[in-house]
Amino acid sequence: MTRERYDELVADGLKQIAAQGQIQLRLGDYALEIEPMNPHGGQASPDADWMSVRDSLALYAEDLDITVSTLLNHRWVASRWPKPHRQDDVSYSVHKALAAIQDEAERYARILHPASA
């Protein structure tokens, strides 16, 4: 294998990893559309008599052939990163790690310089 070909494979691999991260956030967005985040201990809306939050997301996860815990993680990460604050060149793993920062302003600032996180 040539160094040039190796470099091509690395570049493409990085693109694939970035695309995977975008997919994880998109699945989180879809899960948020199905079941928006409620305040901790919040009640479902009165017209939400079809299924519980977990049941509807479990059904969606099953239809996607992923675990409900994976989908719940994607949903939570997506809820912490509104689209205008996401960084395409920062991995999903970093978005997920920084999602734990409670202060929004700090979280949104930190994603711009993830190496210092």
Q: Cβ neighbours of residue 76 under 8 Å, at least 6 residues apart?
A: 28, 37, 99
Q: What pLDDT, on a 0 to 100 scale, did the predictor assign at position 52?
A: 84
Residue 75, classified by CB atoms within 10 Å of its CB into exposed (0-12), middle (13-18) or buried (19+), is buried
Q: Give the model confidence (pLDDT) of 32-62 as tens digits.
A: 999 999 876 445 555 555 678 889 999 999 9
pTM comes to 0.81
Q: What pLDDT, on a 0 to 100 scale, did the predictor assign at position 57?
A: 95
Q: What pLDDT, on a 0 to 100 scale, did the predictor assign at position 42?
A: 46
Q: Which residues of the chain have pLDDT under 50?
A: 41-42
